[in-house]
A and B are shown apart, each in its own frame.
Chain A
């Protein structure tokens, strides 16, 4: 295996909220992720791009604990989260959305939001027993916060409707709003605009910029639309065939030979 120069790692001076080193995962004969290394700068909006099958979603799954890596290292806020179960990763402040949106359709929009709240003693049986009044109070607080967020995301009229009744774009907004209840510091978005109406997509992106400006949140998103990437990302990381092949400002990456080859290479395969 050729040694890859560290293209996506930031210097030692940089403030990286997420550091991935030499992460790998194979399924039988398929090397889905093959020694990927990257850093994500705190407070940045970073795009993760690459042709289909490059391993982007697999990388997300490995980093957030939904899939167990074969080897490598992952550090969030300088603490290792390598092979930690997904709920622990989420509880530490790194949360994610899914390619196939996971808005819970059989629950109401408001219930979805309430689910997102951390520190609700009523979610534990012991908590119910020990804080019989406390959890109700917390529920009321959580509810008002949820309604505020729904207001901000323009979903409050749907608060008591089943999430199943929302459009695809609205569900993506709900997924984002829901995880904001936990006040994460790093959010991984897996194709947040896929199948979403332009207008709602624009709203989603506007929210991302606002959240970064207001709270210093960091966003890493997988995206296929290069226009969206050019307009919104501070930094772009490119994956192909399970490895990170380039990183930098959007304009640079667009001109990068290796990146063009990777995309063209896939096109040539498709044409063959």
Chain B
């Protein structure tokens, strides 16, 4: 037995995390029965998908700029409401409207870089200033949306009723299954971008060591701009996917998700996009699994608790590497 544990401890972090999750699932099946465990796992994958989309965007911006973007959650809301706007006022079919919403959010991120972040960097603004600006931006976006669209819950024109059985009585909504597929494809594309393309390698280089990247001839301004675009697109996709999957949206919904997104990104090691991906999926699973034990209104508290626990125990995240001083 000890030999097995030793081999387990020596396995790469990936394997340990996946192994741990599977072990946890096995425990849950034993505790609550296969149906509940399976259903919440399915729900968890849905939630985890848009958590992952949101968290990866956060991690990309933090990695390249060392900026925690408190307005990130509101970018999700922005996308969802843009989709609503285009589908309602311009009569676009909902899928097209969602695409437009995603692109609009990418545009918003790019514009914010050109108009706000780049000039502030030129002026050597400190981290505190930038942080408060993200909070101000969050207020502006969130309340701007409420100013125009009001605070009553809205829905996107998606099919919220059709559901089908996966295995046995475990159900998933049709919209949600599409959301998962789309989300996972997007995440895969991002992973490919980071790994295989030149711009992706440059993004990783900046995240690793900004000053080194600058002196090795990388056009950092361009890379930062692309990072914002990608992060904005991911946030946009997360926003439309979550609005579709959850079914209703209010101007606050992105802000309410923000701490869960932080938790996912921190668990994955704030700088690491891959970590945020895994962190998002894990957190989605954990939040949904928790509904087997506590009332679902405590779900958000679970997210915050995971955040705080991770910050206490292992701030570099389960998958992150320690910061080089």
Contacts and interface: CB of A to CB of B under 8 A. Distances in A.
B211 to A, nearest CB: 15
Interface string B309-324: 0000000000001101
7 contacts: A27-B322, A27-B324, A28-B321, A28-B322, A30-B324, A61-B325, A67-B325
A28 B316 CA distance: 13
A60 to B, nearest CB: 12
Interface in A33-62: 61
Interface of B: 321-322, 324-325
Contacts of B321: 28
- Chain A, interface residues (CB within 8 Å), range: under 10
Nearest to B324: A27
Contacts of A67: 325
A28 B322 CA distance: 7
B323 to A, nearest CB: 8
A61 B325 CA distance: 11
Contacts of A61: 325
A151 B322 CA distance: 45
Interface in A59-75: 61, 67
A28 B325 contact: no
B204 to A, nearest CB: 15
Nearest to A57: B325
B230 to A, nearest CB: 26
Contacts of A28: 321-322, 324
Interface in A16-32: 27-28, 30
Nearest to A30: B324
A67 B325 CA distance: 9
Most buried by B among A27, A30, A67: A27
Given A28-B322, A67-B325, 7 more contacts: A27-B322, A27-B324, A27-B325, A28-B321, A28-B324, A30-B324, A61-B325
Contacts of A27: 322, 324-325
Contacts of B325: 27, 61, 67
A28 B320 CA distance: 11
Contacts of A30: 324
Contacts of B322: 27-28
B205 to A, nearest CB: 15
A153 B24 CA distance: 65
A12 B246 CA distance: 73
A61 B324 CA distance: 14
A28 B271 CA distance: 15
